[in-house]
Amino acid sequence: MAKDCTTCVETQEKQEKLHKVIAEHKGTRGALIPVLHEAQEIYGYLPMEVQLEIANGLDVPLAEVYGVVSFYTRFSINPKGKYLVNVCMGTACYVKGAGLILEKLKEALDLDVDECSEDGKFSLEACRCIGACGLAPVMTINEDVYGRLVPEDVVGIIEKYKNL
């Protein structure tokens, strides 16, 4: 029974971090959104167990927590890949052909929007305006921004991350 216990140690560490975040914000007005942001940082996504922990910790109904999580596209209830590919679907990007970029990405990653690859490496999302309209059409991969894209650029960019 040589079960590797790194995962449980990791889980415990994450939970401790979350508890600390909740304790820091508890009792302040409007605490929910900052806590959700930090929780998403810690876990990468916001599964039911995490939302329940936050609801109980901040004394906010779970229904309200879920309502807020489901309202904002920045929050996710599904696990995210190591590399989060986000295509801006704001008006400027959309008219400059963001739809074509997204189609190409679906093909290159073999993923649909809001899906995560089985190896946990990539997830694909379409988001609202990220405010880089001058670079339209834009996509981001984690913190990296790629602008003035044409569909032909896509495969090359993805390959780079596949090999990282």
Q: What minimum distance in Å lies between the beta carbon of 104 and another protein? A: 26
Decide if residue 64 touches another protein (CB under 8 A): yes
Tell me which of 27, 61, 134, 156 binds another protein, using CB under 8 A: 61
Tell me which of 5, 8, 52, 155 binds another protein, using CB under 8 A: 52
Which is closer to another protein, CB of 56 or CB of 142? 56
Q: Which stretch binds another protein (CB under 8 A): 64-72, 98-106, 130-138, 148-156?
A: 64-72
Tell me which of 31, 32, 50, 65 binds another protein, using CB under 8 A: 65
Report the alpha-carbon distance of residue 69 to residue 25 in Å, rounded.
17
Q: Sort 106 into a burial class: Cβ within 10 Å, 0-12 / 13-18 / 19+.
A: middle
Buried b or exposed e, range 57-75, using 16+ CB within 10 angstroms:
bbebeeeebbebbeeeeeb
Report the alpha-carbon distance of residue 99 to residue 137 in Å, rounded.
9
Decide if residue 27 touches another protein (CB under 8 A): no
Q: Scan residues 72-91 and list those touching another protein (CB under 8 A).
A: 77
Give the x-and-dash track for 114-153 against another protein (CB under 8 A). ----------------------------------------
Nearest-10 crossing angle of helices 6-25, 48-58: 30
Decide if residue 51 touches another protein (CB under 8 A): yes
Q: Sort 157 into a burial class: Cβ within 10 Å, 0-12 / 13-18 / 19+.
A: middle
Contact between 136 and 147 (Cβ < 8 Å): yes
